[in-house]
Chain A
Amino acid sequence: MRLEPKPAPALVVALLYPIAAIVLTLAFTSLLVLAAGASPFSVFYLVWRGAAGSQFALLETLTRATPLIFTGLAVAVAFRAKLWNIGAEAQLYIGGVVTVVLGTGLLPLPSFLLIPIIMIAAMAAGALLLLGPAVLKTRFGVDEVVTTLLLNFIVLLFVSMLLEGPLKDPMGLGWPQSSKVIAEAQLARIIHGKRLHYGFAMAIVSAFIVWIVMKKTVLGYEMRAVGHNPQAAAYAGIPVNRVLMKTALLSGGLAALAGFCEVSGLKGNLTLDLSPGYGYSGIVVAMLAMLNPIGVVASAIFVAGIFVGADAMSRSAGVPSYIADVMVATALLTMVVAILFTRFRLRWK
């Protein structure tokens, strides 16, 4: 059996591959639903209804998609340059930490100054957090997958330490949580009285900016070249290490924005369950989008819909909501196979 490169298929044909991946994912999860003694069709319908069946459901899905867009973009940017950032979770939390450090009264500034300052500071913190593994990779040859993964644990413990120490809410009845951010540091709600906040709009704008960067700029070109073939890129005069550093800064900054938005837009304070694994789900979001920044928006909404819908379904149908995580992980694996077959064909001899 061999893999042979083949010309890029026409757009319509190219779309068939991800669709096949999704069908395969649904087929596999159907088996699990059957094992749980429920009917796949009614379960999938319930998931759909829970995710998009009402205005409330739809807004909830978009709210949940917001951090996923940011972590998805962070991963998409990094993976494009083959910088394996599995640490979006940690970068997200650091973004949250910076938000509560600056946003709980330390800087008494009006909104239009405070929010940009916090955003920039959060991005800087996330960027620096990923710069460490990037430097270790380029300087010492330490695999960044392991370092970013291990940093996730370290940062979470660090956050836990802060929440039981300097950042602890004195009114929190002993819970490990921070004080609420002041009103000036909060992102407004897009629709009054609903949970969807302007973080979602920021996410969309970010996706568009990242798309421009990847498609139109010198940096985007350099990142793609380094990702595809670092040796040839270096030979052509592309400064590979410097490009990887810039990639790390961009990726870490984007992931930190997820933390900023969750605190400033939604939760109001920092807790240890700020993220139910958005950093890891970001990998799936990015892969489902084939690392395309605009695609990230769609796939983040899709993934968020599965999570939100599965929560609702689980309450009524009794199938454990972990079915959502299984679906998302399966989709990741089927999608990488699908992408492979858009570029290669199998020859059985």
Chain B
Amino acid sequence: MIALLGENGAGKTTLMNILFGHYVADEGAVEAFGKRLPPGDPRAALDTGIGMVHQHFTLADNMTVLENIALGTQGMWSWKLDRVGARERIEKMSFEFGLAVDPEASVGSLSVGERQRVEILKALYRDARILILDEPTAVLTPAETEALFATLKLLVAQGLSIIFISHKLNEVMAVSNRVLVLRSGRLAGERVTADTNRGELAALMVGQEVEPAPVPPSEPGPLQLVLNAISTQKRGSGVSLDRISLSLLGGEITGLAGVSGNGQAALAALIAGVEVPTSGEIIVRGTTARDWSPRAALAAGIARIPEDRHAVGTIGDMSVTENVIAERYRTPRFSSRGFLDWKASRAFAEEIIADYDVKCPSPEARIRLLSGGNMQKLILGRALDPQPSVILANQPTRGLDVGAVGYVHRKLLEARGRGAAILLISEDLEEILALSDRIIVISKGQLSPPSARGQRSVAQLGQLMAGHGMETA
């Protein structure tokens, strides 16, 4: 089992997508079992015995497990899908490898862990000899992760090769035989797992032995935002909030740790004003909010850094100027009597570009053309410019390179120094540990009581993330 280790944005997924034929490399070629693979042809990769479990599952929710697995495995022009044969094979395989799943269940009704099992079965069903798993544990609880590792070890014992993509050092150390470290699209090093240690790998990942940015002790200020016994509506398969309470103090970073898909999205949507609570109160600096909406949240001084910069944070086909004023175009600074002040807007865009070191051709450029890091800097500038008293930072560094990550962290700490209350939502426990003054764990829509910096060990946090001892913690 090879682990492919690297920071977010180091090029791990890109490399695997080239290997699998989703992308075409500008140079070089892929060779498997002594055969050169034609570029850009997933079919050829599959036929050679390469299987891939994508980070975002590639399953059709409207079809059954069996149908998803059988998709593309039988002659396209056959008049009848061989269900019986497929079913037998799936049942046999799921028994052999401990991947329990009902072949007739609709995929839309499965849990995340089950879906992942279907993805692995899909690859095995096609006789994969090399299995690529892209960040397979990001969506799993620690217990599910353990089960996955057991399965993977079983597969390796049967002669499969596995490429395990991760940015989590402990997982890499736990399961792999060999580690390849990627950094900014380059191979930074290759080690035998048994002969290396976390420190060395971490150094390879980030380039030099980096001391985490020194975090000065916080000076807690007054209560800025209180959520009191809030519940939200259940939407589809997402996790909703159930009577949660949360207090954010000024001058503090509160870190929200948890496995992806445990209600972070609902909580972020709530604070951002997109989601309206079904019960409970939102209290901003002592005043209970009446109508809750994105506009109300903004008016209450809440700055929002959304998780998805492309779909939610920016309007790709509009200009930088039009994007930076999106949250404040109705204020007297940017419009009066229904007319926009383009001069002031453009000046504001130029100010943000300069202050936040955004690289872009001009304020008139469509924001779609900016890189992820520059886009995030613009969003950061837009959010922080009005000196907000509360900052919601949802996965603010996902997919950014190391430099941009450091920049975002510095800006958040600056805002903290100014007295802002910051809620940092991240799936990256190391980020949470590095920045947070207090840590809260979210699991199945429930919040743990907060713990001060260093109060809980990583193991204790892991237990909470798995939902163990939430009541007593």
Q: Does any Cβ of B come within 8 Å of A302's Cβ?
A: no
Residue A238 CB within 8 A of the other chain: yes
B 279-317 binary contact with A (CB < 8 Å = 1; else 0): 000000000000001110110000010100001111111
Q: How far is the CA of A5 from the CA of B273 in the complex (A)?
A: 32
Q: What is the interface residue range for chain B against chain A?
A: 35 or more
Known: A218-B330, A349-B40; 18 extra A-B contacts, CB below 8 A, are: A8-B366, A217-B339, A217-B340, A218-B340, A224-B318, A228-B318, A229-B311, A229-B314, A231-B311, A232-B311, A232-B313, A232-B315, A233-B315, A234-B274, A235-B272, A238-B326, A349-B24, A349-B39
Given A7-B369, A225-B326, A232:B314 Cβ within 8 A? yes
Contact of B327 with A by CB under 8 A: yes
Is there contact, CB below 8 Å, between B318 and A225? yes
Q: What are 24 A-B contacts with C-beta separation under 8 Å?
A: A5-B366, A216-B342, A217-B339, A218-B329, A218-B335, A218-B338, A221-B340, A225-B315, A225-B326, A228-B315, A229-B316, A229-B317, A231-B312, A232-B313, A232-B315, A233-B326, A234-B274, A235-B274, A235-B312, A236-B327, A237-B293, A237-B294, A237-B297, A237-B326
CA distance A235 to B293 in the complex (A): 9
| Chain A residue with the shortest CB-CB distance to B296 | A237
Nearest Cβ in chain A — how far from B379, in angstroms? Answer: 10
What residues on B are CB-neighbors of A233 within 8 Å?
315, 326
Q: B322 at interface (Cβ–Cβ under 8 A)?
A: yes
Q: Which residue of B lies closest to A220 (CB)?
A: B340
Q: Is B214 an interface residue (CB 8 A)?
A: no
List residues 416-460 of chain B with CB under 8 A from any CB of chain A: none
Contact present for B316 and A236 (CB under 8 Å):
no
B126 on interface, CB distance cutoff 8 Å = no
Q: Which of B322, B342, B369 contacts A225 (CB 8 A)?
A: B322
Q: How far is the CA of A232 from the CA of B274 in the complex (A)?
A: 11
Interface of A is mostly: helix
B30 → chain A closest CB, angstroms: 15
In the bound complex, what is the Cα–Cα distance between A233 and B318 (angstroms)? 11
Closest residue of chain B to A239 (Cβ to Cβ) is B295
Residues on B lying within 8 angstroms of A by beta carbon are 24, 39-40, 272-274, 293-295, 297-298, 304, 306, 311-318, 322, 326-327, 329-330, 335, 338-340, 342, 361, 365-366, 368-369
Q: Is A219 an interface residue (CB 8 A)?
A: yes
Q: Least Cβ distance of A239 to chain B in Å?
A: 8
What CA separation (Å) do A218 and B345 show in the bound complex? 12
Q: How far apart are A234's CB and chain B's nearest CB, in angstroms?
A: 7
Which residues of A sit under 8 angstroms from B306, Cβ to Cβ?
A: 235
Q: Which of A4-54 contact B (CB under 8 A)?
A: 5, 7-8
Query: Is the CB–CB distance between B316 and A228 below 8 Å?
Result: yes
Contact at B294–A234, with CB atoms within 8 Å?
yes
Cα-based distance from A5 to B368 in the complex (angstroms): 8
Known: A7-B369, A218-B329, A229-B316. A237 touches B311 (CB 8 A): no
Least distance between B368 CB and chain A CB atoms (Å): 5
Instruction: Evaluate contact between B339 and A237: CB separation under 8 angstroms.
Output: no
Of B40, B322, B327, the residue contacting A237 (CB under 8 A) is B327
Alpha-carbon distance A233/B315, docked complex (angstroms): 7
* Minimum-distance CB pairs A-B, first 3: A236-B326, A237-B294, A237-B295
Q: Which residues of A contact B40 (CB under 8 A)?
A: 349
A343 neighbours in B (Cβ, 8 Å) = 317
Contacts of B39 in A (CB 8 A): 349
Q: Which residues A55-82 have CB closer than 8 A to chain B?
A: none
Query: A231: shortest Cβ distance to chain B, in Å?
Result: 6
Interface membership of chain A positions 230-260, coded 1 if the CB is closer than 8 angstroms to chain B and 0 otherwise: 0111111111000000000000000000000
Complex CA–CA separation, A219 to B339 (angstroms)? 8
Question: Looking at A218, A219, A232, A238, which has the most chain B CB atoms within 10 Å of its CB?
Answer: A232
A345 to chain B, nearest CB (A): 13
Instruction: Please determine whether B298 and A232 come into contact, CB atoms closer than 8 angstroms.
Output: no
Residues of chain A with a CB closer than 8 A to B322's CB:
221, 224-225
Chain B residues with CB under 8 A of A224: 318, 322
Q: Which residue of A lies closest to B309 (CB)?
A: A232
Determine the chain B residues whose CB is within 8 A of the CB of A229 once the complex forms: 311, 314-317
Residue on A nearest B299 in the bound complex, by CB: A237
Expressed in whole angstroms, the Cα–Cα distance for A236 and B329 within the complex equals 10
Nearest CB on B from A299, distance (A): 22
Residues of chain B with a CB closer than 8 A to A349's CB: 24, 39-40
Q: Given the complex, which residues of B lie within 8 Å of A238, measured CB to CB? A: 326
* Closest CB in chain A relative to B395 CB, distance in Å: 15
Residue numbers in A under 8 Å from B312 (CB-CB): 231-232, 235
Q: Which residues of B contact A7 (CB under 8 A)?
A: 361, 365-366, 369
- Alpha-carbon gap, A5 to B371, bound state (A): 12
Decide: A221 and B329 in contact? CB cutoff 8 A: yes
B247 to chain A minimum Cβ distance, whole angstroms, is 25
Question: How far in angstroms is the closest Cβ of chain B from A51?
Answer: 35
Given contacts A218-B339, A221-B329, contact A237 B316 (CB under 8 A): no
A-side contacts of B361, CB under 8 Å: 7
Q: How far is the CA of A7 from the CA of B365 in the complex (A)?
A: 8
Q: Are B313 and A235 in contact (CB under 8 A)?
A: yes
CA distance A287 to B340 in the complex (A): 26
Please measure, in the bound complex, the distance between the C-alpha atom of A217 and the C-alpha atom of B293, giving whole angstroms: 23
Give the shortest distance, in Å, between A218 (CB) and chain B (any CB). Answer: 5
- Pick the contact of A216 from B274, B295, B327, B340 — CB < 8 Å? B340
A209-221 vs B: 1/0 string, CB under 8 Å? 0000000111101
Binary interface encoding of chain A residues 116-155 relative to chain B, with 1 for a CB under 8 A from any of its CBs, else 0: 0000000000000000000000000000000000000000
Chain B residues, Cβ within 8 Å of A228:
315-318
Q: For the complex, give the distance between the alpha carbons of A216 and B329 in Å.
A: 12
Chain A nearest Cβ from B362, distance in angstroms: 10
Judging by beta carbons under 8 Å apart, are B369 and A5 in contact? yes
Closest residue to B306 on the A side, CB-wise?
A235
B269 closest partner in A (C-beta)? A235
Smallest CB separation, A241 vs chain B (Å) = 12
* Chain A residues with CB under 8 A of B315: 225, 228-229, 232-233
* B311 adjacent to A236 (CB under 8 Å): no
Q: Which residue of B lies closest to A233 (CB)?
A: B315
Residues of B within 8 A of A217 (CB): 338-340
Cα distance A47–B329 in the bound complex, in angstroms: 48
Q: Given the complex of chains A and B, what is the CA–CA distance between A292 and B182 in angstroms?
A: 48
* A238–B328 CA distance with the chains assembled, in angstroms: 10
Chain A residues, Cβ within 8 Å of B311: 229, 231-232
Residues of A within 8 A of B293 (CB): 237
With a CB–CB cut-off of 8 A, which chain A residues contact B365?
A: 7
Q: In residues 156-183 of chain A, which contact B (Cβ within 8 Å)?
A: none
Complex: how many Å from CA A218 to CA B339? Answer: 6
**Complex CA–CA separation, A235 to B298 (angstroms):** 10
Which A residues lie within 8 Å of B326 (CB)?
A: 225, 232-233, 236-238
CB closest chain-B residue, reference A224: B318
**Shortest distance between the CB of B299 and any CB in chain A (Å):** 9
CB distance from B265 to the nearest CB of A (A): 13
Scan residues 184-224 of chain A and give those whose CB is less than 8 A from a CB of chain B.
216-219, 221, 224
B338 in contact with A235 (CB, 8 Å): no
